[in-house]
């Protein structure tokens, strides 16, 4: 009975985390320099020198919202959502030990970058009947970064 009461208390907290605004408004950066000093040079990430690393880092930061429901580590337990480690390139609804919706099981989706992009943008539109009802990412750049992070997780 104690476990049921604890789960009942924890469920609203987890659901609230999934509904957090994944795309706050634009962030403004102000660079202050001494009068007459040369302007700062662009960072390697901004100039494209290490853009893949920067994209993965941005994806890791954006995935923090997803982490309320999903793990992304080898052998990590499933949470409210399945462990997403190594998910890119795999068929949908195949993570062992997770109870998927019938809709996702029947979807026939293989998680390519394009399929992930459209699913993360609007899960209910991509797979009507899915149980993933929170956590959509409306910003295309954030989705691209999250997908890069998912792709890199299994490569490391």
pLDDT value, residue 37: 56
Q: Using one digit for the tens of pLDDT, what is the confidence trace for 77-111?
A: 999 999 999 999 999 999 999 999 999 999 999 99
- H or E segment at 102? helix 102-105
Q: Which residues contact 40 (CB under 8 A, 6 or more apart)?
A: 31, 33
Report the predicted TM-score, pTM, of the whole model to 2 decimal places.
0.67
pLDDT band at 154 (very low <50, low <70, confident <90, very high): confident
pLDDT band at 45 (very low <50, low <70, confident <90, very high): very low
Q: Which two tokens stand for residue 4?
A: 């049921």
Q: Give Cα 30 distance to the centre of its chain.
A: 28
- Taking the C-alpha atoms of 97, 99, 100 and 105 in order, what is their torsion angle to the nearest 10 degrees? 70
Pair 39, 84: CB distance under 8 Å: no
């Amino acid at each position: 009975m104690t476990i049921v009461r604890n789960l009942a208390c924890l469920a609203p907290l987890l659901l609230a985390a999934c509904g957090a605004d994944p795309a706050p408004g634009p962030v403004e950066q102000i660079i202050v320099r001494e009068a007459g000093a040369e302007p700062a040079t662009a960072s390697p990430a901004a100039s494209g020198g290490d853009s893949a690393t920067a994209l993965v880092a941005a994806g890791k930061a954006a995935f923090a919202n997803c982490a309320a429901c999903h793990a992304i580590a080898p052998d990590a337990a499933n949470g409210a959502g399945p462990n997403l480690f190594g998910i890119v390139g795999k068929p949908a609804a195949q993570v062992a030990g997770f109870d998927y919706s019938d809709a996702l099981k029947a979807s026939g989706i293989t998680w390519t970058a394009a399929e992930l992009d459209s699913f993360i943008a609007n899960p209910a539109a991509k797979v009507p009947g899915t149980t993933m009802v929170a956590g959509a990412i409306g910003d295309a750049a954030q989705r691209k970064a999250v997908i890069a992070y998912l792709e890199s997780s299994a490569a490391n």
